[in-house]
Structure 1
Amino acid sequence: MYNWDLQNAIAAFVDSLRPTGDLQHELYTNGLYAFVDLQSHLLTLLGYPPVP
């Protein structure tokens, strides 16, 4: 009923990402901040008031 090979492959993939976890977290947060900042500027340009 279970595909143990697939589960083991997923676990191995996740384990291979652990050493770069801090870098991935920083890239994610920087990307998210840049996206939100861009959207904030866009909405301000469209006439919406900035949120404090």
Structure 2
Amino acid sequence: MTLLSCNVASSPQWIHNSAQALADILPDAEQRTLDGQAHNAAPEVLAPAIERFFLG
């Protein structure tokens, strides 16, 4: 299974580090930051990120 790890720019550094560490070791995983979004990211921001991930 493929993982898309999304986090927000305002998250604590340890969350960014953890997300990147997971993306580095999991097959086909990518870490993305959704600028300007909180943990409840707007669908119109989240959907294109997911689409880019799956469609390339």
Superposition TM-score tier, normalisation by shorter sequence: 0.3 to 0.5
In terms of fraction of residues, the more strand-rich structure is 2
Q: Which of the pair is proportionally richer in helix?
A: 1
TM-score by length of 2: 0.30
The structure with the larger Rg is 1
